Structures are given as C-alpha cells and as structure tokens.
Amino acid sequence: MLLDSYQQQERFWLKTLFGAPSREGLQVFRGEFVVLEGELKASTGKRTPPKAVLKQAVMVGDESQLQMVVGNFASIDELPEFVARFHSALAPECRPVLFIDNLAESAEVEIQGHSYVLIQHSDGVVWSALTECCYLDKQDLKGLSGEDKVIRVFEALADYRPELPSRDLETMLATKTEAKRTTWGAV
C-alpha cells in the first residue's frame, strides 16, 4: 500500500491514526506528513526537523495512489514542494483540500490537471473545518472507528463543491500575506 511505503520512508512525523478501515483496499492516515525532509546530520546520522510539513493531515490511499489529501500548510510556499514530490501519486479524482495560514483569499487552483482547493485558515483544527465543509456533525460519525470516520469524510468530500474563484498558483504565491497561525496554551 502507498501509505505503508510513506511510513517506511519516514514521512509520518507524528502519527495520530494509521490503519485499514472496514472498506477494503484502502488505508487512512491522520497526523503530520513530511513533505520536505530536514538535512541529515553526518555526526549523528539523524535528520534535522522537516522543512515542509502538511500539518493535521488527513489522507486516504490505496495500493498506488492518494485518494484524499487534506491538511494545513503554514505557508503557500510549501505547496510547490508538495506538488513536486507527490502530485504524481494523486488519483485522477483526488482534489486536495489545503487549509493555508497565509493566503490572501481562498481559491481553486488548477495544477497539472488537478484542482486544488486552497482555503484561508489561520486558526482552528483542520478536522473540524473539514467536517464542516462536508456538512457532517458528530451524529454522522458516532459509533465509527477512527479509520471509518476518515472514510465517511472521504465519501462526503466527493460532493464538496466550494464556490471559490479560480486562480493560478503564481497569483496565489504573489499575493500571500504575513499571517501566522494563532497559538494558544500556557504562557
């Protein structure tokens, strides 16, 4: 399975959920997904922290393709890295939904034949925003395993048609803002 190969490549920086749902032939992942690895330190043989990470990622994969990709980038500048490394793994019907902190506006972007939904999002949890986009509430997910909850969202996402303007990637990169994710916690 494709997600197994990503695990072997150490692409899972933080793993919240990884396994097979009740729907055969698929695997799901939730966590932090490494897009661009950190440098390898010769002295220790270990890598520095990743340079680009798809945070709060929610992914569905089959044997050879990514069927669903959802997550958060701190900057639109990380998207070209994702496209360079993982665009060829996207299934033809996969429409990545990316919540990005420093977008000037939400938009749909066509990249190499795939439509990417880019949503301005500088605070909150991706899973909550995703279920809201799919018009799902807790009752719709009640009683399902973690893996099957992801599949339920995957099925609902097939009908997701946001009314967003179409833009090209160059415009989105040129109009990025200086916004950073709002953090909270102990001071």
Domain that holds residue 123: 2-40+48-174
Q: Which of 133, 83, 77, 70 is nearest to 103 (CA)?
A: 77
Residue 179 lies in a domain: no
Residue 89 lies in a domain: yes
For residue range 140-183, what is the model confidence (pLDDT) as tens digits?
999 999 999 999 999 999 999 999 999 999 999 998 888 776 66
> What is the CA 108 to chain-centroid distance, rounded?
15
The percent of residues in the chain predicted with pLDDT above 90, rounded, is: 82
Whole-structure pTM value: 0.91
Residue 165 lies in a domain: yes
In this structure, the chain runs to a length of: 187
Evaluate whether 130 touches 69 at the Cβ level (below 8 Å): no
Residue 180 lies in a domain: no
pLDDT at 120 over 80: yes
Residue 183 lies in a domain: no
Residue 122 lies in a domain: yes
For residue range 9-50, what is the model confidence (pLDDT) as tens digits?
999 999 999 999 999 999 999 999 999 998 888 888 888 899
Q: How many CB atoms lie within 10 A of CB 142?
A: 8
Overall number of domains in the chain: 1
Evaluate whether 83 touches 98 at the Cβ level (below 8 Å): no
Question: Looking at the chain, which runs of residues are DSSP E strands?
Answer: 12-19, 27-36, 52-61, 66-73, 97-100, 107-111, 114-120, 166-167
**Mean pLDDT of the chain, nearest integer:** 92
Evaluate whether 25 touches 62 at the Cβ level (below 8 Å): yes
Residue 184 lies in a domain: no
Residue 113 lies in a domain: yes
